[in-house]
Structure 1
Amino acid sequence: MNLKILYINDLHSRFEEFVKISSTIEFFRDNCTLIFDAGDSYDEWRFEAIGTRGKINSDLLNKAKQNTTW
Structure 2
Amino acid sequence: MPQINLRVDEETEHRLQYLSARTGRSKTFYATEALTQYLDENEDYLLAKDALEEFSQSNDDAIDLADVVWPV
Same topology, TM > 0.5: no
TM-score, normalised via structure 2 length: 0.24
Higher relative contact order (CA 8 A, sep 6+): 1
TM-score, normalised via structure 1 length: 0.25
Answer 1 or 2: which has greater strand percent: 1
Answer 1 or 2: which has greater helix percent: 2
